[in-house]
Amino acid sequence: MISTWYGEISDALFAQLAQVRVLICDVDGVFSDGRIYLGNDGEELKAFHTRDGLGVKALRSAGIEVGVITGRKSNIVEQRMTALGVPFIFQGQEDKSAAFHSILDALSLEPSQVAYIGDDSPDLAMIHMAGLGVAPHDAHPGVQQAADYVTTCRGGFGAVREIADLILLAQGKLHQVMESST
C-alpha cells in the first residue's frame, strides 16, 4: 500500500496511474456537482472548482493530455475548458465511445494509457474501456462499482484534482508541478 494525501492506494493502482498519458473526463457530475442552474431568461449556470482547474493545468504542464466528453452542449463548458487549455472538447455526445477513440487516435495511444472519470451510466462504457476507470465519491453506485478507483472528493469539489494529483504522484512529477507556478 502507498500512502497519499487521499489515503492509501494499492501498488496495482499506483502502477495503473503511472501508465496514464491522457485523462478524459465527463463534465456534469465531475467538473461540476451535476446540478444545472437555469435562469428566467434561459441562461445556464454551472460552478467549476478552481482546484480542478489547477489539476488540469498541472497535468498538461507535466505532458499528460486532458480531454472532456459530455452529453450536453454548453457555451460555459467550451469557455471553461478553453481557458484551461484543454485541447479535446467533445460536447453533445450521446454515445461517448466515438469521441473516446478519436482522442486516442489523435494521440496515438492505447486504451491502457487512459484514465477516464465519469459519474453516471453514460460513462460506463468508457470506464470499462480505459486502463483506469475513475468515479467521483458521489457517482451513481453502479459507476462506483465499475470503477477501479473512487475519489474521496465529490464531483465539482476536487475529484479531478484528486485523480490529477495521484497520476502525477505515480509518475514522480507531483513535486515538480506543485513547486511551479502553473
Q: Which pLDDT score is estimated for 84?
A: 95
pLDDT band, very low/low/confident/very high, at 41 (cuts 50, 70, 90): confident
Share of the chain above pLDDT 90, in %: 85
pTM (predicted TM-score): 0.94
So where are the chain's domains?
17-178
98: left (phi over 0), alpha (psi -120 to 50) or beta: alpha
Question: Average pLDDT over the chain, rounded to whole?
Answer: 94
Q: Which pLDDT score is estimated for 45?
A: 86
C-alpha closest to that of 155 among 173, 145, 167, 143 = 143
* Residues, the chain: 182
Q: Which pLDDT score is estimated for 123?
A: 96
Place of cell 472519470: 117
pLDDT band, very low/low/confident/very high, at 178 (cuts 50, 70, 90): low
* Inter-CA distances, 2 with 17, 50, 152, 179, Å: 12, 27, 16, 22
pLDDT band, very low/low/confident/very high, at 181 (cuts 50, 70, 90): very low
Fold (CATH) for 17-178: Rossmann fold (3.40.50)
Q: Can you tell me the mean pLDDT for 39-59?
A: 91
Q: Which pLDDT score is estimated for 42?
A: 81
